[in-house]
Amino acid sequence: MPIDKNNHGNDNNGPEIHWDITTQGYTFPSVETGIVFGTSPAPPAGEFHHRNLTSQNRKYTLKDMNSSTQTYKYTLNLLNKDNNACAAKDPFIANGQ
């Protein structure tokens, strides 16, 4: 997911990024573990902020300060209808592109 280097959001607090689950029975486990950023490179403190879960834990949102030109790996974690963890996915966000 590339974020344009000139995009700092409508409120200058970073654009909102959101993930929406459309398949019934699947949810994000929590705001802390739904999206987990890697450590190489680790995002600067506050780069990804205002994390939130809505729509019965089926929509995850965060703000991206977009303050660098780094690409950040993250892990996306979900639970299935039986509340068991699904296989984690690990896409990336490319800032300043």
* Any domain includes 84: no
Q: Give the structural domain span for 29.
A: 2-78
Contacts of 72 (CB under 8 A, 6+ apart): 37, 38, 41, 43, 47, 48, 92, 93, 94, 95
pLDDT given for residue 72 in this prediction:
92
* Any domain includes 89: no
pLDDT given for residue 65 in this prediction:
87
Domain count, the chain: 1
The type of residue at 44 is P
% of the chain residues with pLDDT over 70: 87
Q: Is the pLDDT of residue 13 over 60?
A: yes
pLDDT given for residue 14 in this prediction:
81
Structure pTM? Answer: 0.84
pLDDT given for residue 85 in this prediction:
96
Q: Residue 8: what are its φ and ψ, rounded to 5°?
A: -120, 15
* Any domain includes 17: yes
